[in-house]
Chain A
Amino acid sequence: MTWTWLIGAVLFLILAPIAGGLIAGIDRKITARMQGRVGPPLLQPFYDVGKLFEKERAVVTTAQNFYVLAYLIFIAVSGALFFAGGDLLLVIFAFTLAHVFLVLGAYAVHSPYSHIGAERELIQLMAYEPMIILAAVGLYMVTNSFYVADIAVTTVPAILYLPGVFLGFATILTIKLRKSPFDISTSHHAHQEIVKGITTEFSGSTLAQVEIAHWYENVFLLGFIFLFFAWNPVIGIIAVVVTYLAEIFVDNVTARVRWQAALKSGWLAAVLGIANLAILSYMMLGGV
């Protein structure tokens, strides 16, 4: 019995919030620079979350704490599962479960702005789900395994076989990172036409938990990008950095779209993924 998987999970649970917070800090710094500003300190996200824990406990309904806690826990569990080398599909489904909890929390408070945020979050979920499943399937087709542990040590340059899948994944990554133009359910920046959408009614430590969950999730997503380049860790890390920078750039140069466009983009990205996989399976059939 090998316990290496446990190390991955524990490291993720401990380090991901730190890494996620730092990434968020870098993100804000770079964003500020792109806008010709100095920007907040690097550790600003940690100050923010620390501050939220200092605030008074105020709720609209006690149940919201439950759903948000469940959201945080399941995000952490599924991310841990990913870094433990678990089954990619199970990881994806566990993430869906976590997000459904967040959506339920927004429904539970029974507030107009939260409600619209929750509906839009569900539309986002519907928009990215096909592509993320196809990404897992694509990695399987290249590496013959759904297990992250196997995919991560593959010697096959997956990206060369899956350029379309990668592009599709990068598109829905914008949704998952809550970045413009797809930040329709809630956003990082300033005002939004639906106040703060899904998080409108969360305050204090509840909001802090949403933020920490988001950090966990971002680290997981970057891990997912890495899998496409896993055959060469150096290139992998560079690719992750470049992809994230590209996301920040897109965030800064685009305006928020309507949900229709978000849904269509997500589903078209999946079509791109399918086309890629179709060609790939044709090639594999021909090769055999």
Chain B
Amino acid sequence: MLILKPREEGSRLMLWLSPFFAVFVMWVFGGVMFWVLGLPVLEGLGVFFLDPLLSLRGWSELLLKAIPLALCGLGLSFGFRAGIWNIGAEGQLLMGALGGSVVALYFYEVEGFWVLVLVLLGGVLGGMLWGLIPALLKTWSGASEILTSLMLTYVAGLFLSAMVHGPLRDPDGYNFPESRLFSDSSLVPILWEGTRLHWGFVVMLVLAFLLWLVMSRHRLGYWMNVCGGSSRAALYAGVDPKKMVVISFLISGGFAGLAGAFEVSGSLGQLVPVVSPGYGFTGIIVAFLGGLHPLGVVVGSLVLSLTYIGGENAQIAMNMPSAVTGVFQGALLLFLLACRTLESYRLVWRR
């Protein structure tokens, strides 16, 4: 019989290996799923996970989609370390997209590099303000941030939709629910000529590095870890848990908002009713896949980005339903959580 024995100390090796195990198990699971559905197993997996990597265009799209995923995952990993569960990054991303769009449309006819900076800051601010709501509800009345942040996502989605159908609609757009196309000064410059990959990727990498510095060296990062370890230890260290809730929501909201602003001013070039295919939710998986470590989150964002692109490929090439992407993502999170058991337990064979 296989049994789990607790380790005396968490295994650092397993901390590194468990995401790889999880990805591997996800593949096996996917293969079985294709087989049950009567699809060719190897071809299916190939279309999903290999084809996007065989062309330069595929790579550029992979990196492009990794930008919002990584930004959401980075912000979330900060609060998750403290045991503060912001599930509403999707809503904060949408409000960031809205905030960025409002700035971009307001300065429609103005030129200059600072316009783009303002657009991005507008996005950050939008996400922060939306994140502040569950944080304040939590600190004032103790309302569970998991529920409020999740529910506010739907409010944000409907609010954005109302704006696109109403005040922000393109006056010359034949009543389509879309904003005007942003002027050039509000668009993020292209990083890789001939593709859609923009400078947001570099910004994301810089932010990941800064976040790593804060997490590993700054008092704020230390406090977050202490809070995540135990609330009584936080009390002992003199950390104000309410302040931590607010700070972590401001950070994760700001990161998600920036991701939203990059979507509208980078890949889309205008505000549309559907800005994100659930980047904010997938960001949760990214954060955990990356072990709540900034470097890991960046790598994890590439893996999840691949599931999005692979999903699109599979729809086109093999007529698979679009839900397959979600199935892979959900399975990955489950397998990841299961594999992480190995960090604190070892498998032992006992008769």
Asked if A and B are interacting partners, one says no
